[in-house]
Each structure stands twice: as C-alpha cells, then as structure tokens.
C-alpha cells in the first residue's frame, strides 16, 4: 500500500510505502497530523491472542494525532506518555501482557523540526550540507547482541534448518523471555517500548534541528532499515533516500521484500522470520506550499 502522490503540508511533502510481512494484515502503521508524521511498529504478545500489536499501533497512533491536534507544540515525551496512559486506562492493559509498539514521531514546528524515537524504528535526516543525522534507540539490540540464543539461531539458519525448524522457534522463545525480564524496567541493560507503562515515554530519544538545515527525512520501521543495515541492498542512507526521491518509498519497500524472498530460509541473512512488516515515510522539506526545495 503506497501513497504515490505527495501529501503537501505547510512545510513538507510526504510519500509513504507499506507492505505486510506475511499472510495477515501489517501491524505497522503510519499516521499523519497537520504538521507531523508518526510511524509505529506493532509488537504482539507471545501468543496469537487478541488484541494484537497492529490494534495497539492503530489506537496509540490515533491518540497521538489527537494530542497533536489539541496541542501542536506539546513536548513529544509528554504527548507519548499521555497517549500510553489513555490506552492503559481505556483498555485495562497490563504490563508484560499487553501488545506494544515502537514509536517514531516527526513534527515540523515553524523554524524547528522535532523528532522522538522509542525502540527500534529509526529516523534518518539529511542536511543541506550533505550530512546525515540519525535518531535511534538501540537498547534492545544491545540487550540481545551477546545472547547465546542469538548466535545459535543464526548458526542454525546458516546451516539450512530454516524458520520452521522447532529448534529455531525454541531459541526465539528463549530470547523473548530474556527480553521480557528487561522491558520497561529500571534494570541494567533494560529497554523501553510503548506498552502498558506510561513512564516508558520519558526514556525516548529526542532531537531537534533547524528546519532550514534539513532537506529530506526518512522515518521507518526496522523491516525497512534492514535494507541498509542488514542486507546492504542500499549501500547507504543516501542511496535509499535517492531511491525514494526517484522511484518512491513504495518501490523501496518492494525491493526489500523481494530480496528477502530470494533468501526464504534465512541462510544469507539470518533473521527472526522471512519477511517483516514494512512501513516507510519520506519527507521532503519545501520552500513554499507546492514547491520542492
């Protein structure tokens, strides 16, 4: 699902690309407010019980949009904390047993651009001087990087045992159990995600830049960032941004998805599953409505 025609905001245009990872609807979401874009990656509970991560990402995104409409200049951490608290109150969510979502928010406030990232959905900005500004939250990646289960499942995939091997599933369940000991808690090596603990929002990564310094921004879920960081399909963030400008973010997400299909058992690129959901928003900052800078 793509938006081939840019949506023009006061100071920027937005095009998007989205694809589900498998046979069910995507749990990634892209929401837009008058001067903001929100990208969420829904994270489900261990079981297939309802509600799922896609429901959480949809509802949380709607609360974030409503909050920005009510108070366009609100502190982004405060905005997210309030939205999570509303989810907990309205739906009786319980920490550790709730679906969850990563959150990335990009907001244009006149001469300033603000961004917030909670968990692994990065924001990559490109400056007028040719520099790159990355906003990332890598705490979860650091938590699992040295786990023996991670090394074991990567070795199993490289040997051809595939995603459907029972041993692969057991190793992933062990990794998940380790993660759950560290999520949304003040513990060494912990990480934070939007779930049922509003305080998690206070630990989000935030950055601001002068609007005049920025030309393009990519906001994406990890199913898209893997195209640069894991697969090397795009040799750099600049190359991915160039593809968005020339062919659109829909083309980018399809390119990544099709490459994964050529490695259907995970031998070349060991990963959790063959395809992840993918969502990508490309923002181009413009000098006046309807004019590309």
User: pLDDT digit string (tens) for 153-197?
Assistant: 899 999 999 999 999 889 999 998 999 999 999 998 899 999 999
CA angle 104, 51, 24 (to 5 degrees): 80
Residue 286 pLDDT: 82
The pLDDT score that the predictor gives to residue 48 is 58
Helix H segments across 72-210? 76-91, 139-145, 148-158, 166-180
**3-class DSSP assignment, residue 222:** helix
Mean pLDDT of the chain: 93
Percent of the chain with pLDDT over 70: 94
Question: Could you give the 3-state DSSP secondary structure of residue 260?
Answer: helix
Percentage of residues in the chain having pLDDT higher than 90: 83
According to the model, what pLDDT value does residue 293 have? 39
- What local confidence, expressed as pLDDT, does residue 9 receive? 86
Q: Which residues lie below 8 Å from residue 75, measured CB to CB, with a gap of 6+?
A: none
pTM: 0.94
Distance from C-alpha of 29 to C-alpha of 38, rounded to nearest angstrom? 8
pLDDT of 280 over the 80 cut: yes
Residues in the chain: 293
In the chain the domains, ranked by start, together with CATH numbers, are 2-137+192-223+275-286 (3.60.40.10)
């Amino acid at each position: 699902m793509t938006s081939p025609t840019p949506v023009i905001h006061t100071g920027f245009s937005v095009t998007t690309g989205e694809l589900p990872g498998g046979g069910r609807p995507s749990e990634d979401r892209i929401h837009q407010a008058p001067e903001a874009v929100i990208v969420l990656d829904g994270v489900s509970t261990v079981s297939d019980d309802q509600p799922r991560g896609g429901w959480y990402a949809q509802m949380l995104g709607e609360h974030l949009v409503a909050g920005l409409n009510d108070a366009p200049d609100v502190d982004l951490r405060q905005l997210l904390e309030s939205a999570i608290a509303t989810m907990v109150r309205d739906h009786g969510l319980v920490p550790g047993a709730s679906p969850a979502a990563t959150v990335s928010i990009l907001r244009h406030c006149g001469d300033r651009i603000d961004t917030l990232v909670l968990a692994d959905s990065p924001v990559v900005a490109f400056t007028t001087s040719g520099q790159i500004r990355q906003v990332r939250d890598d705490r979860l990646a650091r938590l699992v990087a040295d786990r023996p289960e991670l090394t074991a499942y990567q070795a199993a995939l490289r040997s051809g045992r595939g995603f459907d091997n029972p041993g692969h599933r057991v190793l992933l369940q062990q990794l998940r159990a380790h993660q759950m000991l560290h999520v949304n808690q003040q513990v060494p090596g912990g990480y934070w995600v939007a779930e049922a603990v509003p305080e998690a929002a206070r630990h989000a990564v935030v950055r601001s830049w002068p609007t005049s310094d920025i030309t393009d921004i990519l906001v994406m879920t990890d199913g898209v960032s893997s195209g640069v960081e894991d697969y090397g399909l795009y040799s750099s963030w600049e190359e991915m941004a160039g593809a968005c400008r020339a062919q659109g973010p829909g083309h980018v997400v399809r390119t990544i998805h099709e490459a994964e299909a050529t490695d259907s058992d995970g031998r070349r690129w060991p990963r959790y599953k063959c395809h992840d959901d993918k969502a990508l928003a490309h923002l181009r900052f413009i000098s006046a409505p309807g004019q590309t800078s």
